[in-house]
Every structure is written in C-alpha cells, then in structure tokens.
Homo-oligomer: A and B are copies of this chain.
Amino acid sequence: MKRRQTDIRHAAAAMAARRDARTLMQVALGREKADLEIINARVVNVYSGEIIDDGRIAIKGEWIAAVGDLEPDRPPAGRVIDAAGRTVIPGLIDAHTHLAWYYTIEQFLPYAMADGTTTIVTETMEIYPVTGKAGLLAFLDSLRDQPVKLLATAPASVSISRRTDGMATETLRELVRRPDILGLGETYWQALLQTPDALLENFQATLRMAKTLEGHSAGARGARLSAYAASGISSCHEPIYADQAAERLRLGLYVMIREGSIRRDLAAIAGIRHRLADSRRLILVTDGVSPGDLISKGYMRPVVQKAIACGWEPVAAVQMATLNPATHFGLESVIGGIAPGRQADLVIIPDPYTITPDMVISRGRVIVENGRVGAVLRQNPYPRVCRQTVKLAREMRAADFEVRTDGDRAVTVRVMEMVTDLVTRAARVAMQPSGGVLLSDTTADILKVAAIDRSGVSGKRSVGFIRGFGLKAGALACSAAWDSSDIVVVGADAADMAQVVNRIARLGGGAVAGAQGEILAEVPMPLFGILSPEPMPVLADQLAAFNKAAAQLGAPFADPLLTLVTLTGAAIPFLRICEEGLVDLKTGRSLPLLVD
C-alpha cells in the first residue's frame, strides 16, 4: 500500500522504506542471485567488536543481504570481488560537519568519497541567516540523491544579531519533520543559559519528533554543564582535553572528538581511552574541513587513521566513525555496520591498521576503485534563491566607516582585542578624536572593524575598532560572516574598506582583500554569498591567495579569513560584532562602543 511521503519522519524509516526485505531474504537463502559478493575479506564487525577472517558479504541492490556463511547452493553473483585477505570496514560517517564551507557539494563530494565516507551529517547554520527557509530548502535539495548519504540538522539559529537570531517554531517543526533532518543543530550553551525561553520551544518541537539536539558546550563545566545537559542536549563536539570529554560523557552526552580544520583535538583527548571500559559514546567528527586540507590531507580517512595512531584499537577507531554515530542518530538499523539489512556501504583497506581505501562501495555501488572516483554526482541547479543574496542599500563610501563622537574630548572606546586567532576580549582604549572623528591607528594596531547587513532587509551596519589584527594598510572583507547575514570587514583604511565591500557586492558574495584602491585578492562566492562553484583546487588557490594578501598586509593569523569571519560568531568568546553593534557573549548583551 502506498503511503503519503509525510508519513515518514525519520531517516532510518525512509531508508527502510526503500529496502525490499523479501528480495534480500531470497538472496540470503540462495534463491536469488546477489548483485555483488565480497569474499576472502577480513571483516571488521562493529557489533561484536571482532575482526572476522574469511568473511563473505552478499549484496543486492543498495543493501547487504547476508554475511558470514553464505548459502552454499546459491546462484553466482553478478560480480565477485576477491578481497584477497584485505580488510573491509563499514563506510565512514562524519556525524558533525559544516558542508557550507566555501565549496559546493559537487566539488566536495569526490574528496569525501575517495576517503571512504558514505554518510555525512551537516550543519545548515550558514545558509539560513542569509536566505531564510527558501535558501535552506535549496541547500537541502543539493544534498539529496548523491552517491553517498548526506543528512542534515536544522539550524539552531543562535546569532548576536536580532535579525538572524531564532527561528519560528512552526518553521522548525516543518524542518524537523523531514526525514533528511536528524535533529536540531548545535546550540551554543551560553545562549541557552542566557535566554532559555527563546530556545526551549524549538528544543521541545524537536524532541517531540524524537530527534536529537546537538550541542556546543565549549568551556562549560560543573553546574552549568549539568544545566545545559538537562535541557535535552545529547552531544558535544567541543571538548579539547580528556577531562572535558570525560565530564561530558558522565553527563550522558555523546562526545564528538573533533579533528578538522577548525581544531584538531584527537591527540589531546586520546588519553581518555585508558579510563573508559568502552568507547561506545565517542564519535569522530571533522566539524568542517577547509578546501586546502581536503586536498592535502583528505576528509575522514586521516581522522580514523589518527585515532589508531593515538592508540585506539582499529575496531574501536572504526566504531567511533561508524556504529557509534549511527547509534547516536537512531540510524543503527540501516547504517554503521556490516550486517544483513544494512546499506551496503563498505570500504576495502589493506589491513585494519591502514585506513587507505582501495575500494569504496556506497549503497551497493562501487564508487571508488583503483583510486578513481567513479560515481556520477548529481549537479545542482542552485536556483535563483541561492544567488544574488548580497544586497546593500547602496555603494559603500569611506565615510560610511567613520566613527563620530560628540565633540573632541578624549573618549574610552571598547575595542575588540584579539587574544588568540579566534578568541577576542573587550579592551578599553583611550582615543582622541580628530575633528569629531575617531581614526584607526596602525602604529598602535588599532583598526576599524565593521559588520554590514547584506540581506537588503535591515540596511544596518555598525563600525568599531579592533586591536591585534595587524593590518598595516588596506582592508579585508567577507560575506561568509558566521551566524549572521553580514559582510564583515576589517581595515586600516576606510576607502579600502568601502572598496572591498563594494567588490563583494558586485561578486554576489565572497572574500576580498584590497589596499590603496587596488584589489589584491578575491574569492568569489556567488552562491548564498558563502559558496564558490569553482573546482576545489581553484578555490583553494584563491583562498590561499587571499590569506597571502592578508598576511602581506600584516595579518598575523594562521588563517586570516577564518579569523575575519568568526568576528560575528555567537559562540567563540568574548566580544563580537554584528550590524547592530558590539555584543558581549558572556552576558549576551549589547555594549555601546564608547564606555561612559
């Protein structure tokens, strides 16, 4: 009987609905032929924790029909792969990442596939602030029907900007009813503790649908971490030490160990394995991989390899990237292991200690063989709603970045001060206006920083000061500013700030570095103002060129673009800026530029 699609709310149910159990049973019983058989394999069994020698796997369509002792009198399979003693592991799962990381799905996927990753759960927080629901749906559409499974979380929509903070519960409910949405994405703990009422209704809507609440509790501990967990949050990918990981495990949270371009925490957390009787609630995630790292390091493969290098047994390391995340998301009946009735997502590697895919099978199809990605990607149309998302009220001028004071008295200014590449704090700096205007001062490393709403809705912008950004000249801007619909710009020169922002508007989004009226480097991001359609190597070169230009202008950071785009973020302490002004994340409160 055919049922309405809306009947199905869960990813596991949607997958199971496509599973023809009758046929799989016939194949297992040797009454129908398998499409594919793998023989002579050492099979990593994540359920029993064993490595099974002389393993056999029979596949029909997208699914595993039988493993172990296959029926002797079966018809010959469509194709037989002799693993010749090599090892087979389940397809890898990245349970927490950000796929809206400058590149498109089409450009990204070959790297993930080559690495043996067959299921990815991505945040969607980057898209919603700039395009709302329509753009988010287009982004979700770009995830479907690809050679590997791409699932998502709904955006928690925590922002320091009122324009992009929060989501109507009715909208969220629509999203979390979708089977491709596994839950609500990371909700920063400070926001939840500061304004629980604003968030708990959406938590409740998600939990009523039996879906998960992903967490982000960087730095929380003790009573406040308990309070965060009590809200129903079920994971955290932010611990950076073994102690932090242990505290989160004890509070019932799944601990996602992050090893990606934002941070690499595996080595520092690895010591936890000596304390744990089992590692079932540890999950390996990337939390996002940059174009450069995708090309030079890869995606999930190096993460699992590093877990082994850090001392985990291969089976445990594989579990952390397969069964454990599948269990966390309620997907263990369909993915995460090699057993009858599971999706035929398999990776053949030389031996259990060497996570180097010789072959990758996704949904029963060989997608990587002899080092070549063979699957055809679905090309997305990226409809109109994904484009032309950068809307300024008018061209910016140098005067738009002027900061005026009331007269020429010396004033105390709240300055964003870089403490690390990402962490800032509020410094108080005495400044002397000149003609009623506060100027940047490269000798004291005090630059202008501005956030400009680029949604065409509010037309707002705010301008402040930043210390420690290092530019001696020019300006850097980007339309992919975190948790906002802003272009964020830092500059030593107001005219250059206007220049790079205007250039971004003409590009329809991107990152631009300029100085003395010249464009030094630019990374066009015409999709959502966040993503580039360019091939990954081209994009990586553009990003590298941007960062090189930034460094030449004086930015002292490992990844100046990352430092720039996080200035609007709602999660990284302490002082942040949006189009409405400065916000202290510790309290969630707006702070005026001038100290009284």
**What is the interface of chain A, defined by CB distance below 8 A to chain B?**
1, 3, 7-10, 12-13, 16-17, 19, 21-22, 24-30, 45, 47-50, 52, 63-71, 169, 192-193, 196-197, 200-201, 203-204, 207-210, 212, 221-224, 226-234, 246-247, 249-252, 275-281, 313, 315-316, 327, 330, 333, 337, 339-342
Contact = CB atoms under 8 A, between A and B. Distances in A.
A28 B201 contact: no
**6 nearest A-B pairs in the assembled complex, by CB-CB distance:** A252-B339, A49-B277, A28-B227, A66-B226, A230-B340, A71-B223
A319 to B, nearest CB: 9
A470 to B, nearest CB: 40
Contacts of A250: 45, 47-48, 50, 52, 67-68, 339
B280 A223 contact: no
B277 A280 contact: no
Given A25-B227, A278-B280, 7 more contacts: A12-B207, A13-B207, A16-B208, A21-B196, A45-B250, A68-B251, A251-B340
Contacts of A30: 223
Contacts of A224: 28-29
Contacts of A1: 169, 201
Contacts of A9: 9, 210
Contacts of A63: 230
Interface centre among A7, A24, A227, A316 (most CB of B within 10 A): A227
Given A3-B208, A210-B330, A278 B49 contact: yes
Contacts of A276: 48-50
Nearest to A13: B210
Contact of A66 (B22, B29, B223, B313): B223
Contacts of A232: 16, 19, 21, 333, 341
A341 B48 contact: no
B277 A28 contact: no
Given A250-B48, A251-B340, A276-B48, A230 B25 contact: yes
Contacts of A27: 230
A307 to B, nearest CB: 15
B252 A340 contact: yes
Chain B CB within 10 Å — which of A30, A276, A278, A327 has the most?
A: A278
11 contacts: A9-B9, A12-B210, A19-B232, A29-B193, A47-B251, A48-B275, A66-B230, A67-B251, A227-B340, A231-B341, A234-B333
Contacts of A197: 22
Nearest to A9: B210
A21 B231 contact: yes
